């Protein structure tokens, strides 16, 4: 499980999210561009999690095939 959590997609999404939170705390105004950035971040995070799920399912399927 560790290899999935520390994948580059998840690390990138987490560091980007932390940077966006830091900007909000520094008093940056919340504009429509900021909303688009947050939406983009959410999509990126969803894709990274989806990739992890797909890889995991593929590994489980390969293990099931090899045991038969």
Residue 37 CB neighbour total at 10 angstroms:
14
What does the alpha-carbon distance between residue 68 and residue 42 come to, in Å, rounded to a whole number? 39
| Helix (DSSP H) and strand (DSSP E) numbers for the chain | 3, 0
Please state the rounded mean pLDDT for residues 62-68: 73
For the entire predicted model, the pTM comes to 0.75
What does the alpha-carbon distance between residue 52 and residue 19 come to, in Å, rounded to a whole number? 23
Q: Are 52 and 7 in contact (CB under 8 A)?
A: yes
**Of the candidates 17, 20, 42, which has an alpha carbon nearest to the alpha carbon of residue 31?**
20
- pLDDT at 4 (0 to 100): 64
Does the pLDDT value for residue 5 go beyond 80?
no
Does the pLDDT value for residue 2 go beyond 80?
no
* Domain segments of the chain as ranges: 2-67
At 17-51, the pLDDT tens digits run 999 888 888 888 888 998 999 999 999 999 988 88
């Amino acid at each position: 499980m560790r290899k999935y959590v520390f994948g580059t997609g998840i690390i990138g999404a987490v560091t980007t999210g932390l940077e966006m939170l830091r900007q909000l705390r520094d008093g940056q105004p919340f504009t429509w561009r900021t909303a688009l950035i947050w939406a983009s971040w959410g999509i990126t995070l969803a894709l990274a999690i989806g990739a992890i799920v797909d890889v995991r399912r593929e590994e489980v399927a390969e293990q099931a095939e090899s045991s038969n």
